[in-house]
Structure 1
Amino acid sequence: MMVSTWLSAALWLAACVMAGIHDQTTTNSDGIRSIPLRTHTLQQPYLDSDMQSRWFDFGGDTIIRADQYIRLTSDRPSQAGWIFSRVPLTATNWEIELEFKIHGDGTLHGDGFAMWLTKQRATGGDVFGSTDRFEGLGIFFDTYKNNRPGTVFPYVMAMVGDGQKPYDKANDGKDNEFMGCSARGIRNANTPTKAKLTYFQDKSLKLELQYKKEDQWELCFETSEPPTIPSVAYLGFSGETGELSDNHDIISVATKNLYDTKSRPDNSGSAGGGRGGSTKGKPAKKESSGSWTWFFFKVIAFFGLVGGSYVGYTAWRTQQRRAHRF
């Protein structure tokens, strides 16, 4: 009777956990399903009970205030700080939504901060507080204009590093730029400032910014020919100040794995020569890998929870029997 009651309770608990996971999963009108990645997410209080982060390492001048922010640099000269994930982001398609704050008291300010998806991790340097000659993708939020005529600052720029080419700091990365946009008003903004980077392997890379009005996203850049990001790439953030300074704060990071659950039409058609010679391509098969992956994940989690609970219950019963002998 007790075992039956315990199994019922365990199954109920497992169902609740699975429902909780399912509630965090959303599918938009385009059929894109998103699943949160806890390993690449930062939210208050940022640290565990032992004052460490399970999924991120940090160093340099980074300060973590558990109820407010992760401060990469304070509003003081010659500061540099970083925070990097401990495990690589291996998802094929993903979305990273970052809330940040660039602010300070000075009329003149600098230098800026960066978001990284690179093979290198947790190494300080002189490219917005992280190492130069990186391999992967860097997104630079540059607030100080060195030598780039005709460009309005602050400027947000993407660079694709091959592990050999250095960042041209003297010219604000002009020769390194993959894509970018001006973002006047991103510093000391009156509304929460955010960046949303969305990547579909071999299909698209898009960066959107929010700084003018809440829930109003401005397209910074978008391409249907995205760069190849290393299969083992760590998510990180770093900031730097020189003679001029600012506070560079990370408020939150939400990373999601994306799955396309809808079938997409094949637009390739046929290369027929005369009028009426072309034919429609066959409909693409429904991409159900995301659905099946999520299904198996739920099944494994379910039985893992039930099995773990059973082992714990068995150990408890054994301990009880031994106690009764004395």
Structure 2
Amino acid sequence: MWFGTWLSALCLATLTLGATKQDKQDDSGSTIKSIALRTHTLQQPYLDSDMQSRWYDFGGDAVVRTDAYIRLTSDRPSQTGSLWSKVPLTATNWEIEVEFKIHGKGSLFGDGFAMWLTKTRAQEGPVFGSIDNFEGLGIFFDTYKNNRPGTVFPYVMAMVGDGQTSYDKNTDGKQQEFAGCSARGMRHSAVPSKFRLTYFQDKELRLELQYKKEDDWILCFETFSPPSIPNVAYLGFTSETGELSDNHDIVSISAKNLYQSNPSSTPGSSRKKRPSPRKKRGSWFWTLGKIVLAVIGVGGAYVGYTAWRTNNARRSRF
């Protein structure tokens, strides 16, 4: 009985140790820690007691509803709205998660909205409400198809601006696209629409979307040769409507500074070297099996030795 109790306790402790180790790893196989960036995070009610935001400026036709959203443009023609951080984002590695909503009454709609990380800020222009020939990164959530055969809209694309290259609206930026994906169902989504942009300098740029099911993140694009983003870049959101229109709402912005517990490994290399779950599980059970067999062997030897001593003791009496 003593041996069985000891064996059960050993197995339970070993399983608990394995679960603890798994809980500390993320999907890439390395531990990623984060610190919230208050300067670039925006949540309800958005405004302070002075009816201003300490960290963001609102511009153009943007409307703030403190219990619901920041509406960059309403479902009306010829509107332009913006939301820009007052201080630049200087973190080397970061993650920005945004909840948004695109909706309207019409069956014809446009044009979409954009997220920016650029050297300049709060300048109105023709590219989703911001200036052309920008320097930095633009993520465009384009809902209206101009001339791009074979592409399903809405379409989400990234463009890296060098300060000289112009965005071609007539072809929906086909020649300027760095990476992108179709996102059918993003407009009028039944669940909260979100995107999550993750950046590790010189290592990784990844964009994930949520619009089909809650907590179901779809990889839009991922590259382990990311573009160079300006060291001093302002975070912004802009939108515009033309003859066609839609409501473009920003519900919340969550920004984090990221760092790895093992700086020598990169997200890409960690993901490539990480064994598959099936291999890890097989290796784990094989190791556990060897431990159990060893314990049984030791226990069997102990029981045999005890029986031998008992028999010898009985013989010596006679």
Q: TM-score, normalised by structure 1?
A: 0.73
Q: CA deviation at 1:50?
A: 0.4
Other structure's SS at 2:170 match: helix
CA distance in 2, matches of 1:47, 1:175: 39
Distance (Å, rounded) in 2 between the aligned partners of 1:64 and 1:28: 39
Q: Does 1:79 align with 2:79?
A: yes
How far apart are the structure 1 equivalents of 2:155 and 2:214? Answer: 20
Q: Deviations over 1:134-185 (max 9, x none)?
A: 0000000000000000000000000000011111011100010000000000
Give 5+ residue unaligned stretches, structure 1.
Answer: 1-26, 269-326
Which residue of the partner structure matches residue 117 of structure 1?
117
Letter in 1 for 2:239: G
Task: State the SS of the aligned residue for 2:107.
Answer: coil
Cα 1:265–1:121 shift into 2, 3 Å:
closer
Secondary structure (helix, strand or coil) at the match of 1:205 reads strand
Partner of 1:218: 218
> How far apart in 1 are the matches of 2:263 and 2:83?
38
Structure 2: distance between partners of 1:57 and 1:236: 9
Q: Provide the rounded CA distance (Å) in 2 between the counterparts of 1:146 and 1:118.
A: 25
Q: Look up the SS of the partner of 2:39 in the other structure.
A: helix
1:34: Cα distance to partner? 0.5
Give the secondary structure class of the aligned counterpart of 1:150. coil
CA distance in 1, matches of 2:163, 2:111: 23
Q: What are the Cα deviations for residues 218-242 of structure 1, in whole angstroms up to 9, with x where unaligned?
A: 0000000000000000000001111
Counterpart CA distance in 2 for 1:96 and 1:84 is: 14
How big is each residue's C-alpha offset from its partner over 1:55-107, in whole Å with a ceiling of 9 and x where there is no partner?
01111100011111000000000111001001000000000000000000100
Indicate yes or no: 2:164 matched with 1:182.
no
Amino acid aligned to 1:155: Y
The whole-number CA distance in structure 1 between the counterparts of 2:221 and 2:250 is: 22
Aligned to 2:42: 42
Structure 2: which amino acid aligns with 1:85?
Answer: S
The residue aligned with 1:201 is: 201
CA distance in 1, matches of 2:51, 2:133: 32
Q: Which has the larger radius of gyration?
A: 2
- AA matched with 1:127: V
Q: For 1:108 and 1:124, how far apart are their aligned partners in 2?
A: 25
- Percent identity reads 73
Corresponding letter in the other structure for 1:138: G
Say which SS state the counterpart of residue 132 (structure 2) adopts: coil
Deviations 1:166-213 (A, max 9, x none): 110111000100000000000001010000000000000000000000
Distance 1:79 1:32, change over 3 A: same
* In 1, Cα distance between equivalents of 2:125 and 2:65: 23
Q: Which amino acid aligns with 2:252?
A: S
| 1:120 shift after superposition | 1.1
Q: Which residue of 1 aligns with 2:227?
A: 227
The equivalent residue for 2:288 is: none
TM-score (norm 2): 0.74
TM superposition shift of 1:123? 1.0
| Structure 2 counterpart of 1:203, one-letter code | K
Q: 2:294 aligns to what?
A: none
Q: Secondary structure at the match of 1:191?
A: coil
Structure 2 SS opposite 1:216:
coil
Partner secondary structure for residue 178 of structure 2:
strand
User: What one-letter code is carried by the residue in structure 2 that aligns with 1:177?
Assistant: E
- Whether 1:254 aligns to 2:248 is no
Runs of 4+ aligned structure 1 residues displaced above 4 Å come to 263-268
Unpaired segments of 5 or more residues in structure 2?
A: 1-23, 270-318
Distance in 2 between residues matched to 1:39 and 1:212, nearest whole Å: 30
- What's the CA shift for 1:262? 2.1
Matched, 1:163 2:163: yes
C-alpha distance in structure 1 between counterparts of 2:119 and 2:265, whole Å: 35
Distance 2:189 2:201 in 1: 33
- Residues of 2 paired with 1:92 and 1:199: CA distance? 8
Following the alignment from structure 1 to structure 2, what is the Cα–Cα distance between the partners of residues 74 and 168? 24
How many angstroms apart in 1 are the aligned matches of 2:127 and 2:120?
A: 13
Given the superposition, is the C-alpha separation of residues 114 and 28 from structure 1 closer, same or farther in structure 2, using an over 3 Å criterion?
farther
CA distance in 2, matches of 1:207, 1:168: 22
Alignment of 1:66-145 (within 5 A): 66-145=66-145
For residues 214 and 98 of structure 1, what CA distance do their matches in structure 2 show?
A: 14
Q: Distance in 2 between matches of 1:85 and 1:261?
A: 29
SS at match of 2:175: helix
Q: Tell me, in whole angstroms, the C-alpha distance in 1 between the residues paired with 2:131 and 2:145.
A: 21
